Amino acid sequence: MTHSRPTILRLLEERGLSPSRALGQNFVADPNTVRKIARLAEVGAGDIAIEIGPGLGSLTLALVETGAEVVAVEIDRHLIEPLEAVLLGTGARVIHGDALTVDFTQLLGGRAASLVANLPYNVSVPVVMRILEEVPEITSMVIMVQREVGERLVAKAGTEAYGAVSAKVAYFAGGGVVGRVPAAVFVPKPKVESVLVRLVRHDPPTSCEGVDPAKLFWLIKQAFSQRRKMLRSTLRGQIDDQGFLDAQIDGQRRAESLNLDEFASLARQLA
């Protein structure tokens, strides 16, 4: 059974706790929402679900209901004991650690896993990018994030939300926004809208074969460093006119108009 709002409030009161602003804590207090997230994660018996930021265990309990092996990583030491008490007897494992430093590869021991998380707004992008870049064992994600962040993660070239992060995510995974979450389901109620994003890892696109990823990502970051300027300006000294011609990219275009395939073409022209 997952937590309702009265349960969350009772657990906080009993432990003398309050949500940490510094850690961006907003606890989900709606059984329907956490069960929807668990369904979208498509995990079950025989699967491993890594949860980041379990808080008081609302989503954790929903993941346990699926029959998956659940490992919950929580950074707040004050929540470890109450979280373990909530999960007692469920088989879920609690780890006190920071998602930006935990050795997930060692934790998983070569086994594939899915990431499921209600990510604090201030660390959501760094966590997602670290998982994509460093933890290939995690093959899919369902994450709840601030709406603007979620839309940026999966934005397509030419859209307002598209940026360097969007292009980098596209290198590792495909996905989209799969749901919206009203502020009313959180304790405390945030001042921003939230969305659910699903990402599924894939091999790098064929257009990127033979391109050094570090060089590609540097180029993308540089191109977006002054997103309103033309590429021949932001990449001055790195790609000359002949390089743009060879890549078949108009140097007067802006970074936001280029998809990942086109960035790969430009990366081939870097010295």
Q: Domain residue spans in the chain? A: 5-202, 207-267
Closest CA to 163 of 115, 223, 232, 245: 223
Least confident residue range of 23-27, 38-42, 78-82, 162-166:
23-27
Q: State the pTM of this model.
A: 0.93
> Per-residue pLDDT tens for 199-234?
999 999 999 999 999 999 999 999 999 988 999 999
Tell me the fold of 5-202. Rossmann fold (3.40.50)
Q: Is 207-267 a CATH 1.10.287.3510 domain?
A: no
pLDDT tier at 271 (50, 70, 90 boundaries)? low
**pLDDT reported for residue 21:** 82
How far apart are alpha carbons 169 and 150 in whole angstroms?
Answer: 11
First to last CA, the chain: 58
Contact 154, 146 (CB under 8 A): no
Contact 59, 81 (CB under 8 A): no
Average pLDDT over residues 253-270: 96
Average pLDDT over residues 252-258: 97
Closest CA to 124 of 57, 53, 34: 53
Closest CA to 161 of 143, 139, 176, 179: 176
Closest CA to 59 of 41, 45, 46: 41
Flag whether pLDDT at 92 surpasses 70: yes
> Per-residue pLDDT tens for 102-125?
999 999 999 999 999 999 888 999
- Gyration radius of the chain over CA positions: 21
